[in-house]
Each structure stands twice: as C-alpha cells, then as structure tokens.
Structure 1
Amino acid sequence: MRSLSNPAVAVEKVVRPKVREYFMDRRAEVDVFVARHFTWPGTLLLHRSALGWDILRAPMNVVLSPILVLTRIAAYLCRCAQWRGGADWLASRRILLRTTVARRVEACVVADLLQLSLAEGAAAQSPEALTRAILGAPKFREMIRKRESAADAEALSHRMAGAISEYTATRSAVAEMTTVLCALVVGALVFQALTPGMISMAPGVADAMASTNAITEFPLGQTIGGIWYGFFPTDASPWLITVTMAGLVMIGSVFAAFAGAFADPVQSRLGIHRRRLLRLIDTLEVELTGLGQRPFVAREHFYARLLDLWDAGAGILRIFRN
C-alpha cells in the first residue's frame, strides 16, 4: 500500500481534493457575485470609472478587436497542429487596451469571487498584480510547488491570469454588440431600415443631412424646398457619407465605453454572466490541477466580428442602392 509520504500520492489524495473543494465553493458564490456587481447599482459603480481615459481606449479597442480575433484563430490552429508553445504565445498576447472598468472587474473577480489577496488598486497599477496574487495564494501553494520548475509555476500563473484577463476582455465585445442593437433600434425607428451598426446607418444619416441642407438653401424658401425635394430627393455625396461614417463610428465607440451599464443587467437576467464565470472557474481549475487543457476563449469577439461583417455588407448594399 502506497504511503501518503509519496509526493504524487499526496497530491492526488490530499491536495487535489482540497483544490476541487475550493473551486466548488467558488462556483456556489457566482450568483451572489453577479447580483452584487452586474446588476444595478453595482454595474453603475463599475462604469463610473469609464469617465476618463476609457472614452479614448474604447475606440482603439474597436480597431484592435479584429487583430485579437486573428490571433485567437491562429492560436487554435497551432493547438490543433500540436504546437503548444506557439499556441500559448499567441493566446497570451494582450491585444486590447486594458480599460479602467476591465481592471476593476479583474480586481473584483480575484478579490471577491476567488478570495485571493489583492491590494486595492494593484490591478490598475501593474498588469503583473494578478500573476503575483495567484503565485502568492495559500490556497494554490501546494499545487504550484508540485510543478517541475519555477519557470513552469510562473507559466501556470501567467496562464491563469491570462484567462481572467480574457474574461474581462469580453466586455468590449459585448459593448460592441450592445451598440449594434441600439443602432438597429435607431435605424428601424428613424430610417425604417435595417442598420446593424454605424456603417450601415451612415448613408441614411448622410442623406438626411444632405436633404436638410438642400431644403435650407432652396432659393424659393424652405417650405417650397421641402415640397420640391419630397418629389425629387437629393443624394449625399460620397465624401459626406465617408465623413458621416467616421463620425458615427467614433460616437458608437464612445458609447461602447458605457454600454456595459445597460448590457450587464440584461446578461445577468439571462444567465449569461453566470455561465461565463462558471466557464472561467472551470478553466482555472483545469489549469491548476494539471488535468488537461481548457483555455478560456472569449467567443463574444467572434460574434462581434460577424456583426461587423453584417454591418459592412448592409452599408455597402445601401450605398449601391442609392
């Protein structure tokens, strides 16, 4: 009969059950965590910090999101080809800018949900704060010590911190999708058209601006001008459509910085936040116990890119129709 003095037996019989029990407790706290931070007024407190540099980071993240999707696809292909080093390197690339709201969510997940020690404001001051919190956690100490080397333990902490960062990065994609839904509503109410985004909305807005300008400058007055252009509508010039498109994209990007305040309660009600957090906890448990690979992939970025393609297609179709 094997003794528990054997390190491998000790890990299997004592340490891993404790780790599993810890993660079971964390799963039990998910609903409380969601209710505290992702419903009103919790989400409003989170987004209060968006009043600042996040207004500039949000448009940049919209531009960088396609690059993020390409790196994740490349990482998946490398993993399928059994090139784990390349897959891990690509998956660890932090393409998006870390917003202040995302940092606060990271801190809440680490300190409140995972119950790890994290100094207040540490996540905002240093990207390595999450890694240090994982390495220094008493709950993980035994499993981390069983790693083959210090480099292996550090790589583990980086993967776990990366999973948490990947989780918080989903907020930018969800914010983009929320902006798309708002654009659909505005397009249906104002233009009676399908506008799944700012690009497809731009031709309608540009035409309205061109028509208003033409009526204002009509030689016989605005009343007769309104009648005239009611029968003979004017079309916006390509440069006006381009300028309008750029302006609407910027407005939509700024709106995306605060869109989570509207999206969070809806996602909480639909159970999306709960399922996403449970998926994150599953990833952290698999990584820590070393029982396999289950990387956390932010699927929402792929959904957002599909909506971008729909938006671009609808915008091009409207331009050609005009």
Structure 2
Amino acid sequence: MDAETEAALVAAGHRYFADRRAKVPGFVRRTFGLRGTLGLHRHALGWDILKAPINVALSPLFVASRLGALAADGLSARGIARWLRARRILLPTAVARETERRIVADLLELPWRQGGSGSSRDALAEAMLAEPALRALIQRRLEAGVEARVAARLGDYSGTRSAVAEMTTAMGTLGAGALAFNALTPGVLSLAPALSAILAHQAALAAFPLGGALGSVWLGLFPVAASPLQTGAVVVSLMMTGSILAAFAGVVADPIQTRLGIHDRRLNRLIDALEDEFTGSGRHGFVAREHYLARMMDLADAGMATLRLFRG
C-alpha cells in the first residue's frame, strides 16, 4: 500500500477519534452522573460482591505486572512488555463489563458482542470505508492485532474502577477514624486496633461484677487490651464489610469524579492510547494511575498500624 493511502487512513482515523473526544462530556454525564451510576451499579448485585475482595488482594500483582512492563520497555524487551500488559490480572466484574460495553458501543460506537447483548454499529469502519481505496489497508490493520491491543487498553481502564473503589473505602475508614477516635486511620490495619480496644473495653465493662459505674472506675485504673484473636476477628470483619462497600463505592465516587472532570480526562487518555494503537505513532499509552495511588494508601495504612504497634 502506497504512502498516500497510508496517510489517508491515518487522517481518517484522526477524524474518527476527534469525534469520539467530542462525545466524551455527554457520555460521562449519562453514564457516571448520579442516575447513570445507579443504573450501572445494579449489575453489582451478585457475584461482584465476592469478586471485590479478590480484586483488592490481586491489585498489588496488577501493579507489579505493569511496573514489570515498564522495566521491560526500559530494557528494550518489547515482547515481555507486551506479554505483561496483556495479562488481565483482576477478575472481570459485571460493573466493569457493563462499563466496557458502554464505552465500546455508546462512546466509540464499535461492534460489541458478549452474552445476550450486542451492538453492530462500527463508526470507525464507516469512516474508513467512505474511501474505497482504504479497504485493503483496513483489513491489514485489523489482521495485525489492533483489536486485541484495544481490548487490553479497555481492560486497564476498567481496572481503574476497582482502584477508585479501594480509595473511596479508604477515605471512609479515614473519616470514621477521625470522627470516632480522633486518629488517622487510612485503612483496615490502622482502624482495627482502635476498634478492637473499644470492643474489649465494652466487653470487660459488661462483665464487671460490681456494675457499670464501678467498672468504669476500675477499667480507668486498669485498662484491658484486646487479644490478638479479637483484633484479628475485627480485621477480617472490617475487610469483609469494606469489600462489600467497595462493590458499590462507585455510586459515591462516580458523581464526584464527574463533577471534578476526572472521568473526562481518563476517557480522553484512553482515546489517545487507542488512537495511537490505530495510527501506530506510539506517543501515548494508557496508564492506570489510580492503582498506584491505592497502593500508596495501603502503605500509609501499614505505616500507621506499625507506628501504633511500636508506641503500644
């Protein structure tokens, strides 16, 4: 295929992706506004509640795979980098699948086939096939695996929702710790000891044989400490509760991100990456930054818990 035809294909692709960017604000309002996110999270009722804690546990492995891909790029090991980026570490949730469907079918207007639902609209092909001379080159591009790379980018995008859910849950524990204990508790590890101490105090007070008033005086002089078993039970209970909340955290997080323009910027980064996959320029890549922020909050939680342990 000659250079003129190649240039025509790339120019048509740029026009298509420019049209997609123009649709982002309306798509975000419909999909991630309060009404849209409530409809989206109807899909979380079911297996998503069980998948959420598994995805929380798998998130460090996801981050490690992406950091490994960056390291492989730095060492010019392109094959290893592509293989690592193609790994879908996180379990696909119903909310993530529905989000992907809406992005592909409603925003990108590309064919979608999954389960009993589907969409046959292909706005990119329509733009390309408007130029008959481009048809053979379009087929060559598709055979080169562009669609698979687009699917990988969508997988990374969907994975950001689990990271944002983790951060939303962490902000909840931070607020609970500040209100209830006047302490920084960015996660379960730092919240559990304070909650365990209160539960141990209340249990000892209820069991005190001389009544609550004298029990308060006694425990003021001789405070009780939570046992490791009790603290462990509180940690497990908080993790299970947090995982359930994480499955529906987007109901709170999505409208806030919509108002702050975060969804718009994230989708535009995704479109930039998809455009580069099509044109082959390689200037942009979609990086799931939210996962790294979530891991930073995990480190802060572990640090606060360790600090309290040494102080105790």
TM-score range, shorter chain: over 0.9
Equivalent of 2:2 in 2, 7, 24: 7
Return closer, same or farther for 1:125/1:66 CA change in 2, 3 Å cut-off: farther
Residue 118 (structure 1) aligned with residue 112 (structure 2): yes
What does residue 73 of structure 1 align with?
Answer: 67
What does residue 211 of structure 2 align with?
Answer: 221
CA contact 2:44–2:247 (8 Å) conserved in 1: yes
- Quick one: distance in 2 between partners of 1:206 and 1:228? 19
Equivalent of 1:318 in 299, 303, 308: 308
Equivalent of 1:206 in 178, 196, 201: 196
- Quick one: distance in 2 between partners of 1:274 and 1:7? 37
CA contact 2:29–2:258 (8 Å) conserved in 1: yes
What does residue 238 of structure 1 align with?
Answer: 228
What does residue 85 of structure 1 align with?
Answer: 79
**Equivalences, count:** 306
Deviations 1:130-178 (A, max 9, x none): 9x998x955567454244x93xx22x21111110111011000000000
Letter paired with 1:189: L
Query: Structure 2 stretches of 5 or more lacking a match?
Result: 130-134
Return closer, same or farther for 1:15/1:200 CA change in 2, 3 Å cut-off: same
What does residue 181 of structure 2 align with?
Answer: 191
Letter paired with 1:257: A
What does residue 256 of structure 1 align with?
Answer: 246
- Quick one: distance in 2 between partners of 1:295 and 1:275? 14
Equivalent of 2:16 in 19, 22, 32: 22
Letter paired with 1:98: P
CA contact 2:192–2:234 (8 Å) conserved in 1: yes
CA contact 1:287–1:293 (8 Å) conserved in 2: no
Letter paired with 1:49: H
Poorly superposed stretches of 4+, deviation over 6 Å: none
- Quick one: distance in 2 between partners of 1:213 and 1:125? 53
Deviations 1:52-84 (A, max 9, x none): 100000000000000001010000000111111
- Quick one: distance in 1 between partners of 2:307 and 2:292? 23
Residue 103 (structure 1) aligned with residue 93 (structure 2): no
1:292 shift after superposition: 1.9
What does residue 60 of structure 1 align with?
Answer: 54
CA contact 1:144–1:288 (8 Å) conserved in 2: no
What does residue 299 of structure 1 align with?
Answer: 289
Equivalent of 1:46 in 15, 37, 40: 40
How much identity, in percent, do the aligned residues show? 49
What does residue 175 of structure 1 align with?
Answer: 165
CA contact 1:177–1:304 (8 Å) conserved in 2: yes
What does residue 3 of structure 1 align with?
Answer: none
Letter paired with 1:225: G
1:51 shift after superposition: 1.0
Query: Structure 1 stretches of 5 or more lacking a match?
Result: 1-5
RMSD: 2.2
CA contact 2:272–2:285 (8 Å) conserved in 1: no
- Quick one: distance in 2 between partners of 1:239 and 1:140? 64
Letter paired with 1:7: D
What does residue 266 of structure 1 align with?
Answer: 256
- Quick one: distance in 2 between partners of 1:71 and 1:191? 37
Return closer, same or farther for 1:52/1:160 CA change in 2, 3 Å cut-off: same
1:30 shift after superposition: 0.4
What does residue 161 of structure 1 align with?
Answer: 151
